[in-house]
Amino acid sequence: MTIALWIMALVFLGAVGLGLLARRGHAMTLEQWSVAGGGFGSLLVFLLMAGELYTTFTFLGGSGWAYGKGAPAMYILCYPALAYSLSYFLLPAIWRASRGRGFVSQADFFVARYGSRTLGVLVALVGVAALVPYLVLQFKGLGIIVSEASYGRVSPSTAIWAGAAALIAYVVVSGVRGSAWTAALKDALILVVVVAMGLYLPYHWYGGIGPMFDAIDKARPQFLTLGGTGRSTSWFISTVLLTSIGVYTWPQFFGGVYTAKSDDVFRKNAVVLPLYQLVVLFVFFVGFAATLKVPGLLGADGDLSLFRIAKMSFSPWAIGIIGAAGLLTALVPGSMLLISAATILAKNVYKEIVPSASERRVAIIARATVPVLTLISVLLTLHGGQAIVALLLMGYNVVTQLFPALVLALGPSPRISAHAALAGIIAGEVTVAAISLSGATLGTLLPGWPAVITELNVGVVALAVNVAITALVWLATRNGTPVTTITRPEEIRGDSAVAASSLS
Amino acid sequence: MTEPRRGGFRRFHLLGFLPAVGMMGGILFANRVRPLVFGLPFLFFWIAAWVVSTSLVMWIILRLDRAHERQRGRLAANEERAG
């Protein structure tokens, strides 16, 4: 083994050790495993929430897009910042509507608010469908990191299998407590690595950040503005807005909300987290430094650019530390994604099909789902060739369809019926599927329309269809279908109470 | 006494739209490389400055919310004493 692989193996063992330490003294019921019994204070919730957005997507995808596409990569800096400003209002509202109700998954929230188990199953399936591409991209990242840091001695597919085994062991053992503590280790390491690389590389190769951008601008005019490589301001703005409202529709973020003891932590996070996001700039610097120094990585291979320029610039032990940081950015969020998906499948799909299943059995099923989901994701990783950013954008299109029903469920009582929510989500997802399978863009759908319209992110169409159908069904059925008549969230006690009040 | 309820709309919450409007709206004018600011292309500087401003705006909203909640807490306590 090379020195780089040794360092990575050591850090991995350290992470597993932390995960084991974190579970001490806590019986691993499903609620403990997936939302830590709602007992996390400010610091742990902060680490969990910051850590969830800081994944291998940011690390390799961010540098990969800066390398291959230039300015459009800046969307990765914009959308989380705007999502945090939204979170100030959204997350406390979700928390208040969920407090003390024993929710473990996002689907639980929808079931209770709308009093519809069918809606719960649909939301669960949508969540899992969106989580799979997100998991795939973590595995893709793992493969790149391990094989690059081993200087090609470990093939990407071997690396993906090894990473998958590590992830399964890690998740089954520690659950969400392990994730929060390892998130602290991960964030510390990645912060140091990213800032060091983002400052060193421009100075080493170009003599500074300004001279670097100067050189890029001279060599590739338009690379540093929008529209130069086919991603216009229309695309940029619509993508940023779509993804920023989509962030908190991801099931794993609901898990994060339920872990908090108080709702004030979300307001404080909304102040601090945008600043934390600035670290992404340094990731971009790495990709930009690579764009003139290691040219020729086309398409999805842009994701390799960070390691390619690092290997040109640093000695193997430094590559080991970079690889270890990268490994954690895949493992920690990967474990959160797996926990969410497994919890949803066990509680909101399996338990719906087999209502007689005991709590214990559901908890066992949740953990047994982890290897199955991992296997599916690994197989998809080995057979798909998409770049990391493309994968995440796909997941976003799927999951953002939950946004209208989520927002309309907040407040004293839902503003629409379960039927309207169901119809809207289904219509949105069908549109997403049709668009993805046909490869349509607004340009092909609306030939001859001005570029400002045709270059919008095509996800806008699906969301518009979703909202239109939701509104139509709600208007058509509002007299016939009673809505849940809860006046205050405090009055909701359980699913049966909601169901009863919706009948009255 | 009911606990001082968080949540509920207050007019200054509209400030929450400022980051989105500033960051995205400004892009129409800021989509240029030069002048470089702190070594960054102008577009990048614009976005980074708005990310910092987002923190600032949310901090102001938090301060206003806290002040509002303290005031309501005092009012509720006074009513309790009077009643």
Which of A65, A69, A78 is the best residue to mutate to test the B interface, defined by the most B CB atoms within 10 Å of its own CB?
Answer: A78
Check pLDDT > 80 for residue A196.
Answer: yes
Q: CA of B44: which chain A residue's CA is closest?
A: A74
> Which of B6, B43, B47 is opposite residue A263, by nearest beta carbon?
B6
Rounded average pLDDT over A13-38: 67
Contact A225 B61 (CB under 8 A): no
3-state secondary structure A124-182: HHHHHHHHHHHHHHHHHHHHHHHHHHCCCCCCHHHHHHHHHHHHHHHHHHHHHHHHHHH
- Has residue A200 got a pLDDT over 80? yes
3-state helix, strand, coil in chain A (%, to 5): 80, 0, 20
> Binning pLDDT at 50, 70 and 90, where does residue B2 land?
very low
List A40's β-bridge partners, or say none.
Answer: A260
* pLDDT single digits (tens) B25-48: 989 889 999 899 999 999 999 999
Q: Within an 8 Å CB–CB cutoff, is residue A226 touching chain B?
A: yes
| B28 → closest Cβ in A233, A240, A275 | A233
Residue A244 reports pLDDT greater than 50: yes
Judged by a CB distance cut-off of 8 A, whether residue A88 touches chain B is yes
With an 8 Å Cβ cutoff, are A82 and B61 in contact?
A: no
Residues of A whose CB is below 8 A from B20:
82, 85, 241, 244
Mean pLDDT of A26-55: 66
Percent of chain A with pLDDT over 90: 35
**CA A384, CA A380: separation in Å to the nearest integer?**
6
Residues in B closer than 8 angstroms to A212, CB to CB, are 39
Distance from CA of A209 to the nearest CA of B (A): 5
Q: Do B43 and A233 touch (CB under 8 A)?
A: no
List the single range of A122-126, A172-176, A328-332, A364-368 with lowest mean pLDDT. Answer: A172-176
The rounded distance, in Å, linking the Cα atoms of A2 and A320 is 9
Residue A477: what pLDDT? 83
Q: Report chain B residues whose CB lies below 8 A from the CB of A209.
A: 38-40
User: B48 and A78 in contact by Cβ < 8 A?
Assistant: no
Nearest CA in chain B to A271: B55
Residues 31-50 of B with CB under 8 A from A: 31-34, 36, 38-41, 43-44, 47-48, 50
Res A54 pLDDT > 60: yes
Give me the residue spans of the domains in chain B: 13-82
| Nearby residues of A30 by Cβ (< 8 Å), 6 or more positions away | A104, A343, A346, A347, A359, A362, A363, A366
Of A379 and A484, more confident: A379
**B-chain residues near A284 (CB < 8 A):** 44
Count of CB atoms situated within 10 Å of the CB of B21:
10
Reported as a single tens digit per residue, the pLDDT across A321-352 is: 999 998 888 887 888 788 888 888 988 899 88
Contact A286, A205 (CB under 8 A): no
Burial status of residue A27 (CB atoms within 10 A of its CB: 0-12, 13-18, 19 or more): exposed
Query: Which one of A78, A81, A92 has the shortest CB-CB distance to B7?
Result: A92
Q: Give me the residues of A, 246-265, that contact B with CB < 8 A.
A: 263
Please give the domain boundaries of chain A with CATH numbers for all domains: 3-382 (1.20.1730.10)
Contact A241 B13 (CB under 8 A): no
Which structure tokens are listed for B63? Answer: 């301060």
Query: Could you tell me which chain A residue has the CA closest to the CA of B55?
Result: A271
A407 shares contact with chain B (CB less than 8 Å): no
**Is B59 touching A (CB cutoff 8 A)?**
yes
Which pLDDT does position A483 carry in this prediction?
Answer: 52
With an 8 Å Cβ cutoff, is A270 touching chain B? yes
Could you say which of B47, B52, B58 has the minimum Cβ distance to residue A85?
A: B58
| pLDDT tens for each residue of A246-305 | 998 998 888 778 878 888 888 998 999 999 889 999 999 999 999 999 988 888 888 999
Interface contact flag, B58 A88, Cβ < 8 Å: yes
Q: How far is CA A44 from CA A49, A56, A183, A419, B7, in A?
A: 8, 21, 9, 37, 23
Q: What mean pLDDT value characterizes chain A?
A: 83
Predicted pLDDT of residue B83: 61
Q: Chain B within 8 Å of A289 (Cβ-Cβ)? A: no
Which ipTM value was assigned to this complex?
Answer: 0.89
The secondary structure of residue A57, as a DSSP letter, is: I
Predicted structure pTM score: 0.86
Gyration radius of chain A's alpha carbons:
23
The total of other beta-carbon atoms located within 10 Å of residue A29's CB is 15
Question: How does residue A502 score in pLDDT terms, banded at 50, 70 and 90?
Answer: very low
Asked whether the beta carbons of residue B52 and residue A275 sit closer than 8 angstroms, the reply is yes
> What 3-state class would DSSP assign to A268?
helix
Chain A environment of B43 (Cβ under 8 Å): 71, 74, 224-226
Higher pLDDT among residues A499 and A313, named by residue: A313
Q: What average pLDDT does range A109-127 have in this prediction? A: 92
pLDDT at site A37? 56
Indicate the residue type of A219. Answer: A
